[in-house]
Structure formats: C-alpha cells, structure tokens
C-alpha cells in the first residue's frame, strides 16, 4: 500500500523555503545596516523587507512543522514540534531545528514589542538571528532528507557564503552615514 507523498513533499519544500527566506532576511538585515548598495536601497525599505521576509520565514517554518507532524509516515510527533529532542528521528539535529524555529519566532515577534522592551534589549535579542541562521543550517544539513544531494549542498554553501560575505562587509566597511541635506547657499554677487 502506497502512502500519499503530499505532506512529505510539502514538508521538504516548506523547510527549504523557510531556510531561503531566513537567508534572505539575514542578508537584507545586514544590507540595511551596512548599506553596501549606497542610496540604491533606502534603509526604511530595507527594514520593511527584512521584517516581511522574517515573518514569511516563520510562516514557512510553521508549515514545515505541521506537514511533518501531519504526515503519517513521518517520525515527528506534535509534541516534538515544540519540545527539542523529543523527535525519534535524529533527536539532536531535529531539536536544534525546533530551537531555531522558536528563537526565530521570538525575534520576529520582537519587532512588534520593540517599544515595550527597549532598543537595547531588542538589539541584543536581534543578534541571536545569527544563532538562528547557524542552527537552521546545521538542522538542514544534518536532518534534512535532501542534504546529501549536490543541489542542496550548493544551496547551503551559497547561503553560508553570502551571509559570511555580508557579515564581513558589515564588520569591515565604515559605518553608514546618514545623508545630510545640502546646505543652501545663496550665490553672492
């Protein structure tokens, strides 16, 4: 008797989509701060895009978890979606994915409560996005069913390279300066 592969296909696709959205969100967040594109990418636009991508990423993670737990052939239970290490399938690496998802949700929600928690706390919490990215990468590589395939390895390597290069740019580039309005000089004469 064959089982319907719909949930399994959705779980794989949503997991990879979540990872790509996380990568894009981290890259846009770094670009918003380091401004490698100068005035071509306005900071307010970049921040809105960064927030939107992070929310989409959290949504894709939710679909990933729900479709895994809903798949009768999957060894992931409903409680394993929220308690790291409960999954019988590669418990450490699956648990790392659960932790990454929970921390990503916390960071995404922090956008809405920034005024309540203060900028200093929000900024410290936001730095954990790097841990989310690292944990999600490890989770995908070690627990993903496609991680041994060439295209998947290229996806992870490309994401790591892009985020590493963008983080290096942010660390090494001079701080972005706000554009100052040109002084209005009245020509004398």
Instruction: Name the band, by pLDDT with cuts 50, 70 and 90, for residue 1.
Output: very low
What does pTM read for this prediction?
Answer: 0.87
Q: Output the average pLDDT for the chain.
A: 89
pLDDT at 59: 98
State percent of the chain over pLDDT 70.
87
User: Model confidence at 3, in pLDDT bands (50, 70, 90)?
Assistant: confident
- Rounded to whole angstroms, the Cα distance separating 45 from 28 reads 10
**DSSP-assigned states of every residue in 106-131:** HHHHHTTTHHHH-HHHHHHHHHTHHH
- Report, as an integer, the average pLDDT of 104-119: 94
Quick one: pLDDT at residue 44? 83
Cα–Cα–Cα angle for 114, 120, 122, rounded to 5 degrees: 35
Q: What is the mean pLDDT of residues 85-106?
A: 96
Give me the pLDDT at residue 144, please.
Answer: 94
Which span out of 35-39, 125-129, 154-158 was modeled with the highest average pLDDT?
154-158
């Amino acid at each position: 008797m064959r089982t319907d592969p719909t949930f399994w296909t959705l779980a794989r696709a949503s997991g990879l989509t979540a990872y790509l959205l996380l990568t894009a969100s981290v890259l846009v967040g770094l670009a918003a701060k380091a401004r490698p594109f100068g005035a071509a990418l306005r900071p307010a636009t970049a921040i809105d895009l960064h927030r939107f991508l992070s929310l989409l990423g959290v949504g894709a993670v939710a679909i990933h978890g729900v479709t895994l737990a809903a798949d009768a052939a999957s060894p992931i239970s409903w409680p394993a979606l929220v308690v790291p290490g409960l999954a019988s399938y590669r418990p450490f690496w699956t648990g790392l994915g659960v932790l990454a998802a929970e921390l990503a949700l916390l960071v995404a929600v922090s956008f809405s409560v920034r005024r309540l928690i203060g900028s200093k706390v929000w900024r410290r919490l936001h730095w954990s996005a790097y841990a989310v990215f690292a944990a999600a990468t490890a989770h995908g590589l070690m627990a993903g069913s496609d991680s041994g395939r060439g295209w998947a390895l290229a996806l992870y390597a490309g994401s790591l390279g892009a985020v590493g290069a963008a983080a290096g740019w942010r660390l090494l580039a001079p701080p972005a300066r706000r554009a100052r309005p040109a002084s209005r000089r009245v020509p004398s004469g």
